[in-house]
Amino acid sequence: MGLKYPKEFIFGFSESGFQFEMGLPGSEDPNTDWWVWVHDPENIASTLVSGDFPENGPGYWHLYRQDHDIAERLGMDGARIGIEWSRIFSKPTFDVKVDVARDERGNIVYIDVAEKALEELDRIANKDAVNHYREILSDWKNRGKKLIINLYHWTLPLWLHDPIKVRKLGIDRAPAGWVDERTVIEFVKYVAYIAWKLGDLPDLWCTMNEPNVVYSIGYINIKIGYPPGYLSFEAASKAMKHLVEAHARAYEVLKRFTNKPVGIIYVTTYHEPLKESDRDVAEAAMYQAVFDFLDSITIGRSMSIGERKDLEKHLDWLGINYYSRLVVERYGNAWRVLPGYGFACIPGGTSLAGRPCNDAGWETYPEGLYIMLKRCWERYRLPIIVTENGTADAIDRLRPRYLATHLYQVWKALSEGVDIRGYLHWALVDNYEWSSGFRMRFGLVHVDFETKKRYLRPSALLFREIASSKEIPDEFMHMTQPQILI
């Protein structure tokens, strides 16, 4: 009897430019903050970054047809594909004039990108890149597949953000990325240009992926090794505000040029209280990590941003990324994350709750996905797509059950009325995991980075069984419940 998903439910994959595109000669894009960041010898020496280089990656820029073939064979009918801003505009767009409206407090409340500005942008833009993206995206669309175009996935053009210069000179003397309000304006120009050039292709737009990771890791949890590694609450706060505004202003420009729903992708980590009396601090922690940002662009009111009418109702759908939980307990006046649970476990070990942990030390905790789907649905009543879910598991010892248990939680939420439209696995193929490099392997498909050859992991076979039937077949129902090892 199995567990059926709606007929129009999408099974697919998610992809980002920096992590997947490079790999074969001609695919290098050195014009980003992340490129200089991961190549910086001081970063490598300090082990902030792995020493692996993205130009040795899976090579989707050239091999996209092959990857689309595999996706098709695995029963996938949708994908979220990223565009790299830096490939489109490797040079500054500062000189292109746009109208920026501000409120009395100086916040940017609207950006008008006129036809003339688009034409100017077109002169600056890298046409080859635009055309190549059209080829990639069309190849997927022409197979009759659904397409989500994502416009920002962590990499900024180097002319907007130079993390090495930030370190050397200070954040006030170097291109400061999202800390600098200009990034909002330039982002909107870029988004308008893409809408103008490629707006016929997507079924859905996505403005950005996991903006909170950018400001929390980039400016606070700097040991993880994301640019600019500049420890500052104030910088984090500014970056957050600008990302919120960038989303809202991009939303408007996308709605003006196209009639496709515009969403955002957010990592919705469940913050679980260690014990009942920690519930308030766990909620506070989760508010800060998840709802603070999302409230801003839906309700138009949040703790960090305050009241902003100009941000309200700027979301048509919500992309949820989910990997694991955090277990939180009260600590002094605030809270702390408990080691031994969630993202804070021993790689390849067992969590204190008896759950197996992946190669990155992330606990398998599928129940959290259900909880977050419910919480987000009840709070925002927007259509949801699971835009990332997967695990770093080179030898595929956990992934088959990871897949089945998480898809079961999606089904459970669906069956209780949550409006979920699809499930995009992270990832189709192994790729470049940011500061961890190639060691963390998230693919249903193993990649030999030397030869760029693709090999199926067993979980790919299971994915195919489920995706091609749009159900968890009865014969796999035994894999839908989490393993508890103690």
Residues 457-486 within binding reach of its own copies (CB under 8 A): 458-459, 461-462, 465, 474-479, 483, 486
Query: Which of 8, 45, 103, 116 contacts its own copies by CB under 8 A?
Result: 45
Query: Which of 456, 468, 469, 470 contacts its own copies by CB under 8 A?
Result: 456
Q: Using the rule CB under 8 A, is 223 a contact of its own copies? A: yes
Backbone angle region of 168, left / alpha / beta, with phi > 0 → left and psi within -120 to 50 → alpha: alpha
Nearest distance from residue 8's CB to its own copies, in Å?
Answer: 26
**Largest Cα span, the chain:** 65
Strands (E), 210-303: 262-267, 270-273, 301-302
* Tokens representing residue 74 in the block: 């695995």
Q: Using the rule CB under 8 A, is 123 a contact of its own copies? A: no
Nearer to its own copies, 14 or 364 (CB): 364
CA dist 342 and 329 (Å) reads: 13
CA dist 101 and 98 (Å) reads: 10
Asked if 126 contacts 90 with a C-beta cutoff of 8 angstroms, the reply is yes
Question: By C-alpha distance, which of 323, 324, 326, 322 is closest to 271?
Answer: 326
Q: Using the rule CB under 8 A, is 168 a contact of its own copies? A: yes
Nearer to its own copies, 231 or 303 (CB): 231
Nearest distance from residue 64's CB to its own copies, in Å?
Answer: 18
- Looking up tokens 């960041």, which residue turns up? 37
CA dist 228 and 350 (Å) reads: 33
SS3 call for 411 = helix
Q: Using the rule CB under 8 A, is 220 a contact of its own copies? A: yes
Nearer to its own copies, 82 or 342 (CB): 342
Query: Which of 101, 169, 303, 484 contacts its own copies by CB under 8 A?
Result: 169
> Residue 94 carries which DSSP code?
T
Q: Give the x-and-dash track for 341-360 against its own copies (CB under 8 A).
A: -----x-----x--------
Which positions are annotated as active-site residues?
Answer: 210, 388
Nearest distance from residue 27's CB to its own copies, in Å?
Answer: 22
Beta-bridged to residue 337, according to DSSP, are: 328
Q: Give the x-and-dash track for 387-406 against its own copies (CB under 8 A).
A: --------xxxx-xx-----
Asked if 152 contacts 136 with a C-beta cutoff of 8 angstroms, the reply is no
Neighbours of 442 (CB within 10 A): 24
Q: Using the rule CB under 8 A, is 274 a contact of its own copies? A: no
Q: Using the rule CB under 8 A, is 284 a contact of its own copies? A: no
Query: Which of 6, 8, 30, 47 contacts its own copies by CB under 8 A?
Result: 47
Query: Which of 56, 66, 138, 232 contacts its own copies by CB under 8 A?
Result: 232
Nearest distance from residue 387's CB to its own copies, in Å?
Answer: 25
Backbone angle region of 10, left / alpha / beta, with phi > 0 → left and psi within -120 to 50 → alpha: beta
Query: Which of 48, 113, 191, 414 contacts its own copies by CB under 8 A?
Result: 48
Nearest distance from residue 478's CB to its own copies, in Å?
Answer: 4
Asked if 18 contacts 61 with a C-beta cutoff of 8 angstroms, the reply is no
Radius of gyration of the chain (CA): 21
Residues 73-92 within binding reach of its own copies (CB under 8 A): none
Neighbours of 190 (CB within 10 A): 24
Beta-bridged to residue 448, according to DSSP, are: 453
Nearer to its own copies, 133 or 408 (CB): 408
Q: Using the rule CB under 8 A, is 43 a contact of its own copies? A: yes
Q: Using the rule CB under 8 A, is 439 a contact of its own copies? A: no
- Residues touching its own copies, count (CB under 8 A): 48
CA dist 88 and 370 (Å) reads: 38
Site for its own copies, rule CB under 8 A:
41-43, 45-48, 167-170, 173, 220-223, 229-233, 340, 346, 352, 395-398, 400-401, 446, 448, 454-456, 458-459, 461-462, 465, 474-479, 483, 486
